[in-house]
Structure 1
């Protein structure tokens, strides 16, 4: 199923002009506040009619110059930043409310399947006032799933949660992404850590326009994306396989060009995990470094170099099939003589990859 969006809309002091596609998996729309994220998702949901353009879902026109399908007829699930549960209903009844909007004879998850997927069994008899923020969002997600939507829209669903509650709910979203439902999801966020863990495709918005779009690994490792993501948040996303857990608390992971050693990763041997390696935590060396405390030294090839506005530079590195990103000074680029195609070594401290940067 493919969502195609090409819309233009004028707001007070703000012009939106975006074109992108969202296919299977999770497509994340990322941008700073005021970049147009919520306007886009509201246009897709039918809560806003754009001034011009076209939105289609699997070939069906939702909006164009002559057509505007009302929200109730689009069969889209929407999870808002605030859960919007009915306070007088139990969790069971809030979930069941979603079934009222499921199309007749539509395929989709059953009540018990959703309860199991989101770990809601122990909450069914509670009312929203007795739920934590993360629990409320899981119930809101379950209600949306039980409407058996063609696509799920999520607008900053974790923005109101503190970090511990956010870490509690992220694994459930990973299960939804990787599970049997195969439901396409459009996920709006301004949090890089969420996007890096969840998204298959990333659309970067800047001032109402699409600045970059593509597979998450390509966009996150693009030096040109660093200003959009933030210099302290930019970093590549790579996939690794758990090899073994050592007695000293370190976990050995396999990537395409070698091994990584990270503090105790909570995953079984053989499991595949997703890592975000921050660009600011990657050092470069022309020769195999000796006598370092850093455990991870990987052979890489310089793929792209981009100077920043200040003294910094971003360097994209090819590590076999993976891409890494390093943020160093322009002076270091000159002194090392870095050019595209040049082999070198990336040095990564084991402790630099935080547990919150490791997902499934």
Structure 2
């Protein structure tokens, strides 16, 4: 598989940025961390807007920076989407898009991009009459019409209200499915990452502390992501059974079949769903009757961490042998002591199907296989 390589060292006011990254050349890679940790600076280094004395950046076989050369930002095949759309107010939507396309001499089809982002009916409209979500979709389309090799997005939804965010999120998900352009996505809102990202880069004070598949990093008790009140595991599951009478569907992930309270209609379709750590209970022996909890897959305890004075985080791998997807549970210390749990033991993970009902768009939504 083709890869994006990035290595940057840059002295900043409060700390030094040091990043050594290998990023897949497809899908969405999210950069996350505390405010001021260097997320935007890292993105600017990739774009060539901040120049490092020591740096390397390449996409597939194209080197944009090494110790002998530096490709200027305007000569890099990069699409950059900022927090603010920064559209020309005196031009229509179509004129804004064509302006960016002409400057780059791109052959990317205008019709394809406008249909992908739902802009066809807005082309004649003045940008002054667009909603926040519509303006940002135009900004994304303008970046894509440059025919970029990579799309860099710097908190593109941070200036939007919740309604506008929900309007634009499905379009962002479609980008990775329909265009196969690698996207590096900076955000401070972890719900966006849970919904969109395939890979995650976690930063603190200019350092990349961890990088890898989203599911592995957000379930890792060694990282602060798993100790937050919103700690969760994220899965992409394939629909293998539909119970239309009860509005249920069975989604298969590595190591388990999980029943969700969602009336999907297409067998084989892929859907992402989130399991909050607080919604996972544990037992040693799975009851086959007399329980309202319909999910109780076997799992193997991988790691145990204390989460405050009275709670415990239990990291598991699904499957009797512990060879499936990671799952994290948060239980009381009393429950932990009562069960006398130990690393390496097999347990059953109790997950309420109703907790996975898709009422929040970040819980369940369609993905592409």
Is TM-score (shorter-chain normalized) higher than 0.5? Answer: yes
Pick from 225, 232, 238: which aligns with 1:235?
232
CA distance in 1, matches of 2:146, 2:264: 34
User: Which shows bigger deviation, 256-265 or 187-196?
Assistant: 256-265
Structure 1 pair 63/260, CA: closer, same or farther in 2 (3 Å)? same
Tell whether the 8 Å contact from 2:242 to 2:264 is kept in structure 1 after alignment. no
The alignment's TM-score, normalised by the length of structure 2, stands at: 0.88
- Matching of residues 1-360 of structure 1 within 5 Å: 1-23=2-24, 24-102=26-104, 109-179=108-178, 181-225=179-223, 227-228=224-225, 231-242=228-239, 243-264=241-262, 268-289=266-287, 291-308=290-307, 310-320=309-319, 321-353=324-356, 354-359=360-365, 360=367
Q: 8 Å contact 2:256–2:318 — kept in the other structure?
A: no
The offset of 1:44, in angstroms, is 0.9
CA distance in 2, matches of 1:315, 1:327: 6
Question: 2:53, 2:309 → 1: CA distance?
Answer: 39
1:266 CA displacement = 5.8
For 2:76 and 2:162, the matched residues in 1 are separated by: 33
Contact 1:295/1:349 (<8 A) preserved = yes
The CA deviation string for residues 211-252 of structure 1, in whole angstroms up to 9 with x for no partner, is 111111221221222x14651232112121233253344444
Three-state SS of the structure 2 residue aligned to 1:210 is strand
Count the aligned residue pairs.
Answer: 355
- Shift in Å, 1:65: 4.1
Report if the CA contact (8 A) 1:75-1:149 is conserved: yes
Change in 2 beyond 3 A, CA 1:168/1:48: same
Deviation of residue 46 (structure 1)?
1.5
1:192–1:233 contact (8 Å) kept in structure 2: no
Say if 1:328 and 1:191 are closer, same or farther in 2 by CA, change over 3 A: same
Aligned residue for 1:144, secondary structure, equals helix
The runs of at least 4 aligned residues of structure 1 exceeding 4 Å deviation read none
Bigger mean CA offset, 51-60 vs 161-170: 51-60
Unmatched segments (≥5 aa) in structure 2 = none
Cα separation, partners in 2 of 1:211 and 1:334, compared to 1, 3 Å:
farther
Q: TM-score, normalised by structure 1?
A: 0.90
Contact kept, 8 Å, 1:193 with 1:357, in 2: the verdict is no
CA–CA distance in structure 1, aligned partners of residues 311 and 205 of structure 2 = 24
CA contact (8 A) 1:221 1:235 kept: yes
Cα gap change, 1:268/1:102 in structure 2, threshold over 3 Å: closer, same or farther? farther
Give, in whole Å, the separation in 2 of the partners of 1:199 and 1:288: 33
Pairwise CA RMSD: 2.2
Q: Which ranges of structure 1 fall in alignment gaps of 5 or more residues?
A: none
SS at match of 2:336: helix
SS of 1:346 mapped into structure 2: strand
Q: Give 1:313 deviation, angstroms.
A: 2.8
Contact 1:85/1:140 (8 A) holds in 2: yes
